[in-house]
Amino acid sequence: MRILITAGPTREPIDAVRFISNRSSGKMGIAIAEAAVSAGHDVTLLLGPVMVHASLHDTMRVYRFGSSAELKQLLEAHFHDCDVLVMAAAVADYRMERAVEGKIKREGGADRDADLTLRLQPTPDLVAAVASTKRAEQKVVAFALEESAELEARAVAKMKRKGVDAVVANPLGTMDGEHVTAVWLLADGGREEPGRMTKPDFAAWLVGRLSGL
C-alpha cells in the first residue's frame, strides 16, 4: 500500500520568535512510518518540527512542515497519491488572527507587567477537509487524545464528525511518552484494545490493521 503519515506538532507563529504549539514528540507517527516501511509499504512521512534521534529508513520520503498552513499544503500535494492516510500529527487548535511582524517587545518601566492580549482563531480542520475529498478506495485514520473518562465517546464522535474510517483513541498521558494504551475504533463499529505497548510495538500492530480497512 501507499501510506501517507503525518507526525509531530505544528508551530503557529505569534511573532518572529514565538509560537503556539504542544508537547507532541512525533514518536508515534515516526514509529508508524518505520513499521510501515518494514512491512513493505510505500511510505511518505510529513514530519513537523521535532528532533529525530535516529536515521529514518532511506526508502521513506520525508517532507517537513512547521505550521498548520504548511501541513495543509503538503496534504493537498500528497493525499491524492496515497491509499491510506494516518493523521498522527498534533495540529494546534488555535493560531494568531495575524502574526506580529518582527518581535513583540516587553518594554521596561511602569508598563513592564502590563497584560498582553493575543487574538486567536481556530486552525482549519485538516482531517475533515482531507476526508471530504477522498476517493471511495482511500481510507483516513485519525488520532484522538482525550481524558480517559470520556476517551471512547469523544473519539467516536470525532470519527463521525470528521468522516474518517478509523480512529486511534489515546489517553492524555500518551503525548511525549514512551508507551501507548490505545483503542482502535472503526466507523463500522469495530473495536480492539491491544493493551499497553511501547510505541514501536503499537505501530507494528497498527500497520497490520491498516490492510483490513
- Sequence-ordered alpha helix ranges (H) in 2-150: 27-38, 68-78, 126-131
Report helix, strand or coil for 180.
strand
Work out the end-to-end distance of the chain between its first and last CA atoms, rounded to an integer number of angstroms.
11
Neighbours of 193 (CB within 10 A): 11
* CA 175 to chain CA centroid, nearest Å: 11
Q: CA–CA separation, 69 vs 48, rounded Å?
A: 12
- Give the distance between the most distant pair of CA atoms in the chain: 64
Contact between 9 and 92 under an 8 Å Cβ cutoff? The reply is yes
Q: Which of 15, 18, 22, 205 is catalytic?
A: 22
User: What are the φ and ψ backbone dihedral angles of 46, each rounded to 5 degrees?
Assistant: -100, 115
**Residue 170: active-site member:** no
Chain centroid to CA 158: 14
Q: Distance between CA 87 and CA 4 in Å, rounded?
A: 8
- The grid coordinates of residue 81 equal 497519491
Strands 191-192 and 183-186: antiparallel
Q: Which residues are catalytic?
A: 22
